[in-house]
Structure 1
Amino acid sequence: MASVARVLIDTPLPQLDRLFDYAIPSALSDQVVPGVRVTAPLRAEGRLADGLVVEVGDTSSFDGALTPLESVVSPARVLAPEVWALARRIADRQAGSANDVLRLAIPPRSVAAERKWLAQGSPREVPMVAHPVEGYEGGLIESAIDGDGRLALRSLPGVIELPDGTWVGRWAVTLAQAAVRAVIDGRSAILAVPDYRDQEQLEAVLRTLVPAGTVAALDARRTNAQRYAAFLSCLTQPADGAHTPRIIVGNRSVVYAPAARLGLIALYDDGDPLFAEPLAPYAHARDVALVRQQQQQDCAVIFAGHTRSVEVQRLVELGYLSDVAPVPLVTPKVVPTAAQQSQQAADGGRVPSSAFRTASEALLAGPVLVQVARPGYVSLLACRRCGQAARCTNCAGPLQLASSHAVPSCAWCGRLAGDWACSECNNRTYRMVTRGSARTAEELGRAFPGMRVVVSDGERPLTRVEGEPRTLVVATRGAEPIAAGGYAAVILLDGERMLQRESLHVGDDCLRWWSNAAALAAVGAPTLLVGVGGPLAQALALWQQHSYAAAQLHDRRTLGFPPALRVASVTGKPAAVQSAIDALALAPIRDVLGPAPVAPEGPRSLDDGLVRAIVRFDYAHGDAVATALRGAIVRQATGARRPPGERRRGRPAPTLRVKLDDPEIL
């Protein structure tokens, strides 16, 4: 019987990111198995710590006497072997800690849900009917799932009505049918989507295809008990060791879900920034899916979307992913309206006359969608005389208006600015620079009298609207509700404003926002892009988003920007950043940009005195660079010493932060 347990201690300290050997007391010998939660003594700190058993065996590399485990928290094996292997690989790839990954992979414990799961046996298998994936060349997607293929899938635009009367995007039907194919073969499927709106569509389709209990939903909107119960349902059953195939749906962290027999990982709209993990070790869900597909070889991976990210385009050009398009090719009717063609319209020149006429005619047939850049009333003000941006005198944040009768207030600190005066010319009058969803709805309500105006944004989110005529829906980007039967027309406003954001991905993001909105139109309904021309408008009009991604990739290869190369940002105090750069002296990197001062974000001053360096390197050398940066983090955490005379004040907090593949660093 095994006498040694190798335990991963739950701690944020990077120097403790390794397995510790503990002796297994005879009283716990039957309970200590890989995957269970335990408590273990930490001699250095004189306390008990939580941990997870990763391995058990008879020998240890430690020569001294092993400390015995304190207790077994629960017999549930919450750490599946495939999840541990994935967590360790992602942590090493991102210069992070396995504990940080496992906090994303394993939900907080719910005792009631755990007891119920431990008491039940394997669910009774219910026969399911395979549904061919519609809209694509016969058997192509099915063959990829059966043969562990890798696809870059161009999603079908449009909406479709389910048997229960619910309307969903056609992309949701495609992914659901692909998941059913994997489950019928006895394998689980993981479906990752950006947010709850997309997840609701997927779940609606799956309810019509598979029996209740087959779908496990792992998303942050569930209560802790619900999420933990769904997580447990994905594990191997404790009573008989059986694995029940599941269709696991959720947001970015669902890619870590346990599945002993995984047949499919599918991501919809992987270019959405919601897939970028904001917590350490900052791994993008797309990269996690690719690593897991390599790790569990008998698994297919699909990246679907109306647009294609530059990262996926790179993999297509390398031959790693296969490009799959609908047959026949479906293209919405998109009409770009260049800025120079705009004419004075009913809302003061914001909508060109052609778009105004299109909306007037379409409102008689069904609802019309108007996409705008920002929520609220007016999100930015400027001096009426000189055009200088109106700023708060307290924190220098931008001033905004909440309504037509409101006093300007700061978007950062919230302070009212009723006595504002321009810092350049001392003028006290301002003008509106950007109009939000509320202001747009007010203006369009006057332009289209007698029409029902509906607003959908972050404050008033809507997921669905009825397909009634004479309904005008004003929505911010990403908050567009689905209309029954599709929209009779789609008007895309504020294109120029969206393109003014300083980001390497601004063109990709705009094309994705516009394409997703255009995909909600009814068959043959027009989509008008206002005020934007050039390659972006052409890619949208021809529905050739992959061609735009290819052109972007070519430009980034020339400039040495991601994803042609990998990058790592190193942020901290100057001495800590320089130490990390010195650690890369023997690593095969391309170059180092900086260090440069980090500008404080918003009204906070916590970033004062920090600098950032950007390291560029090839994909083949990623492990070496991550190892070197990881070593720098550990050395700073263990080497920080208290200055003389301050021994009772504690050790200085580490300031070094490393982010690999940060999508917004350039």
Structure 2
Amino acid sequence: MTARVARVVIDSPLPQLDHLFDYGIPEDMVGVAPGVRVRVPLRSAGRIADAFVVEVAEESEHEGNLSPIEALVSEVPVLTPEVWALARAVADRAAGSASDVLRLAVPKRQVRVEKAFVAAGSPSIRGEVPEVESLAGYAGSVLDDGVASGGRFAVDAIPALVRLVAGGTVGTWATTAARLAANTSARGKQSIIAVPDHRDLDQVEAALIGSGVGDLVLRVDAAQPSADRYRAFLASLGGGPHIVIGNRSALLAPASDLGLLLIWDDGDPLHREPLAPYVHARDVALVRQSQSGAALVLLSHARSVDAERLVEIDWLTPVTPSPVIRPRVVLAEDPPGEASARIPATAWKLAREALATGPVLVQVARPGYAPVVACGSCGTAATCARCHGPLGIARRGAQPQCGVCGAVAASWTCDVCSGTKLRLVSRGSGRTAEELGRAFPGARVVVADGEHRVLTVPGSPALVVATRGAEPLADGGYAAVLLLDGERMLARESLTIAEDAMRWWSNAAALAAPRAPVVLAGVSGALAQAFAAGNQSLFASRELADRRALGFPPAVRTATITGPVDAVESAVDAVSGVAVRDVLGPIPVDGGGVRSVVRFDYRAGPDIARELRSTLIRNATTRRRPIAGRPQRAAPSLRLHFDDPEVWT
């Protein structure tokens, strides 16, 4: 018998439509197969919706007549079985809709690109890919062999730069990722490399080209033109030992014979998906690895606390460079009487010496001329007496107010000099560049921040003032790296601020030339000592232990429930029978409604997600009592967000 029933997933954000629907395949419609795009009718208001065919069958379990498919949009099977299984599992883990995940996985159709793809047929894939040499800097071939056998690793990247044979400088982490992917291609398997942003993409692409596998690279970048991205997506459907590189959505790329999943710097917040179901790239990789059996590598200069948890439960194997390579870190802090100096004397001295031989990187907290309230006597940044958050003045004549807790500092006193007067100062990248330009007359000053995109600088003397994450690569590395505003960075109220600071500083330190000084100014304590000693992994372990004692993520999972009071109470009641640790809230939120946070162990995750998803569907399908003369309206929306880091800020 011929398959005459298509089971489809409808492209809709409505949770009640998040399941497969059966539609009849018209007799005159050919080409309907799993993975193709179709348009189907909906019963309500005669609407037509986009959908993907997930499977076809000879008959349906539905006893009534089936609505026929409205139109076959394309015969190209853009939704592979592997991606559908991944989308379903990822959505279920976060109590979300599979269609929301598929919207990230399958780009919008570009008709001209698709027609050219169909006309060209299957692309020719080079028969053999030669293996590259074993990874330098790691003992033996433990990482090569482990990836070949489908192992799972948390790898500490070598904090150094390397010059490519073809020219240009990249981080050693990029060559590590490139060699692992190239050897995976040599075994005839596909690789996916996910990185936070375009700077990292440029580095890993250059490293792959330098490894001799540039023609296997498929770049899926959010900044690409839609046609280029769709072209790369279609090419990945054809099989072969491709290497897909991109941002977080690259982990959803169609790869039928996957051999390697690699995430660079998984602690970077850019790996968090801001759209529902808000799944982190690391979680997508974990799910996909369990489904595919591919090797998984989390590569970073500073191990995230989430990765450390996986190491401590023996799910990831830690790999460190051999021999261990550490930047030359100097902790610079003036005596208490001289605490007003933003750049301590030691830092000034090292910067002046380094500027004679090469570029000097100066990392600052904010771009532009960011206003900071400081003591009028000694210039120390003013902080709130209640929570130690930064103080700000909204307008001239207004009372200083905390930017975190909102407390008014009516009778503020400086902790350093006991001064009582405040003044506005500017310490952004622009202001810092001006100050350094006056302090070092004749030196070239380069500003790199969100408004000034600078990717590389030459190896000649210059002062490069950059915000965290925007640091350019210097040819041969920086002669010195100055890390300023550390105390200012740590003043931010966030559960992950210490972890973030360690990552910011470690990534910047890796840009230094061999034996060049890396100066951390104005920060002391356990965090600074761990950074100076190169004990990022030990710091992550201690941070995890502290969070475990307090019941904070990632020691536990959380589900944030936001919405009307009755809907939130109903959702909390739905999980009361599951093994939850506790419920925090409800508390009012901006725009009306309340928010509650449910804390639970990882083993309870599937049950919690299932119960909350059912509550979400019931809320979406509940109708209010109609008002005379007005149509019925759906109940106010209920929002679920699993493992939301913003709850703890």
TM (norm. structure 1) is 0.90
Look up the match of 1:483. 474
User: 2:303 matched to which residue of 1?
Assistant: 308
Label 1:433 to 1:556 Cα distance change in 2 as closer, same or farther (>3 A). farther
Per-residue CA deviations over 1:100-121 (Å, capped at 9, x if unaligned) read 0001111111111111111113
- Equivalences for residues 15-26 of structure 1 within 5 A: 15-26=16-27
- The farther-off stretch of 651-660 and 304-313 is 651-660
1:500-511 → structure 2 map (5 Å cutoff)? 500-511=491-502
2:607 matched to 1:624?
yes
- Rounded to whole Å, the distance in 2 between the matches of 1:499 and 1:174 is 31
Q: Which amino acid is 1:466 matched to?
A: P
The answer to whether 1:336 aligns with 2:339 is no
Aligned match of 1:61 = 61
Match of 1:161 in 2: 163
Q: Which structure 2 residues correspond to residues 558-597 of structure 1 after superposition, within 5 A?
A: 558-597=549-588
Partner of 2:271: 275
Q: Deviations over 1:375-417 (max 9, x none)?
A: 1113334796999999xxxxxx9978xxxxxxxxx7xxxxxx5
Contact 2:489 2:501 in 1 (8 A): yes
Matched, 1:655 2:637: yes
Whichever residue aligns with residue 216 of structure 2, its letter is: T
SS of the equivalent of 2:646 reads coil
Deviations 1:294-330 (A, max 9, x none): 0112x00000000001111011111111110111111
Q: Among 586, 591, 601, which residue is 1:608 paired with?
A: 591
Task: Report the equivalent of 1:413.
Answer: none
What residue number does 1:407 align with?
A: none
- In structure 2, relative to structure 1, the CA distance for the partners of 1:613 and 1:158 (3 Å cut) is same
What secondary structure, in the 3-state scheme, does the structure 2 residue paired with 1:654 have? coil
In structure 1, what residue type is equivalent to 2:316? L
What is aligned with 2:537? Answer: 546
1:9-48 matches, within 5 Å, as 9-28=10-29, 30-48=30-48
The aligned counterpart of 1:406 is none
Deviations 1:594-631 (A, max 9, x none): 11122xxxxxxxx3322111100110110100011111
Residue 109 of structure 2 aligns with which residue? 109
- 1:522 aligned counterpart, secondary structure: coil
Name the counterpart of 1:443. Answer: 435
1-structure distance, mates of 2:509, 2:424: 28
Equivalent residue for 1:247?
243
Name the counterpart of 1:286.
282
* Alpha carbons 1:570, 1:577 under 8 Å: kept: yes
Q: CA deviation at 1:339?
A: 5.7
Instruction: Tell me if the contact between 1:342 and 1:353 (Cα under 8 Å) persists in the aligned partners.
Output: no
* Deviation, structure 1 residue 562: 0.9
Does residue 462 (structure 1) correspond to residue 463 (structure 2)? The answer is no
**How far apart are 1:654 and its partner, in Å?**
2.9
Partner of 1:176: 178
Structure 1 residue 432: Cα displacement: 2.5
Partner of 2:71: 71
Alpha-carbon RMSD: 2.3
- 1:585 shift after superposition: 2.0
**Structure 2 counterpart of 1:222:** 224
CA contact (8 A) 2:195 2:246 kept: yes
Match of 1:555 in 2: 546
> What SS class does the counterpart of residue 215 from structure 2 fall into?
coil
Structure 1 residue identity aligned to 2:615 = A
Cα distance in 2 between the residues matched to 1:287 and 1:342 = 48
Distance 1:571 1:314, change over 3 A: same
SS in 2 for 1:594: strand
User: Which blocks of at least 5 consecutive residues in structure 1 are unaligned?
Assistant: 237-242, 391-396, 401-409, 411-416, 599-606
- Distance in 2, Cα, partners of 1:82 & 1:388: 53
The CA deviation string for residues 483-513 of structure 1, in whole angstroms up to 9 with x for no partner, is 0000000010001000011111000000000
Assess, with a 3 A threshold, how the Cα gap between structure 1 residues 527 and 320 changes in structure 2: closer, same or farther. Answer: same
Larger deviation, residues 119-128 vs 506-515: 119-128
Matched with 2:139 is 137
**Equivalents in 1 of 2:318, 2:213: separation in Å?**
32
SS at match of 2:35: coil
Which amino acid letter does the alignment assign opposite residue 130 of structure 1?
Answer: E
Match of 1:394 in 2: none
SS at match of 1:665: helix
Seq. identity, %: 52
Please state whether the residue corresponding to 2:244 is helix, strand or coil: strand
1:128 is aligned to 2:117: no
Secondary structure at the counterpart of residue 590 of structure 1: strand
Letter in 1 for 2:647: I
Distance 1:335 1:87 in 2: 47
Partner Cα separation in structure 2 for residue 73 and residue 466 of structure 1: 51
**1:341/1:352 contact within 8 Å kept:** no
* Contact 1:572-1:657 within 8 A present in 2 as well: yes
Aligned partner of 1:216: which letter? L
Question: Are the aligned partners of 2:330 and 2:532 in contact in 1 as well (CA < 8 Å)?
Answer: yes
Partner AA of 2:427 in structure 1: R
The aligned amino acid for 1:46 is: G
Question: Is contact 2:18-2:98 (8 Å) kept?
Answer: yes
Deviation, structure 1 residue 248 = 0.3
Deviations 1:106-139 (A, max 9, x none): 1111111111111113333334321122211121
| CA distance, structure 2, for counterparts of residue 333 and residue 536 of structure 1 | 16
Instruction: Tell me: CA distance 1:500–1:433, structure 2 relative to 1, closer, same or farther (3 Å).
Output: farther
* Inter-CA distance 295–388: structure 2 relative to 1 (3 Å threshold): closer
Cα distance between partner residues in 2 of 1:566 and 1:6 = 34
Return the alpha-carbon distance in structure 2 between the equivalents of residues 434 and 7 of structure 1.
57
Secondary structure at 2:275 match in 1: coil
Deviations 1:537-580 (A, max 9, x none): 11111111000000011111111111111111111121221111
CA distance in 2, matches of 1:563, 1:75: 44
**Residues 1:399 and 1:110: Cα distance change in structure 2 (over 3 Å):** farther
Q: How many residues align structurally?
A: 623
1:26 partner SS: coil
Displacement after TM superposition at 1:647 (Å)? 2.4
1:81-96 alignment, distance < 5 Å? 81-96=81-96
Write the distance in 2 (CA, Å) between the matches of 1:94 and 1:476: 33
Letter in 2 for 1:325: T
Paired residues of 2:565 and 2:594 also in contact (CA < 8 A): yes
Deviations 1:7-38 (A, max 9, x none): 1111111101000001111112x311000000
Q: Which amino acid aligns with 2:267?
A: G
2:620 to 614, 637, 642: 637
The change in CA–CA distance for 1:24 and 1:589 in structure 2 (over 3 A counts) is same
The offset of 1:45, in angstroms, is: 3.0
Is the 2:333–2:344 Cα contact (8 Å) retained in structure 1? no
Say whether the 8 Å CA contact 1:642–1:652 is kept in structure 2. Answer: no
Moved more, 256-265 or 57-66: 57-66
Shift of 1:343: 3.9
Q: Is the alpha carbon distance of 1:516 and 1:310 closer, same or farther for their aligned partners in structure 2, counting shifts above 3 Å? A: same
CA contact (8 A) 2:622 2:635 kept: no
1:263 aligns to 2:273 (yes or no): no
Distance, in Å, in 2 between the alignment partners of 1:330 and 1:388 is: 35
Q: Hey, what's the Cα distance between the residues in 1 that align with 2:174 and 2:603?
A: 35
Equivalent residues of 1:372, 1:475 under 8 A apart: yes
Does structure 2 conserve the Cα–Cα contact (< 8 Å) formed by 1:148 and 1:300? yes
Give, in whole Å, the separation in 1 of the partners of 2:445 and 2:252: 42
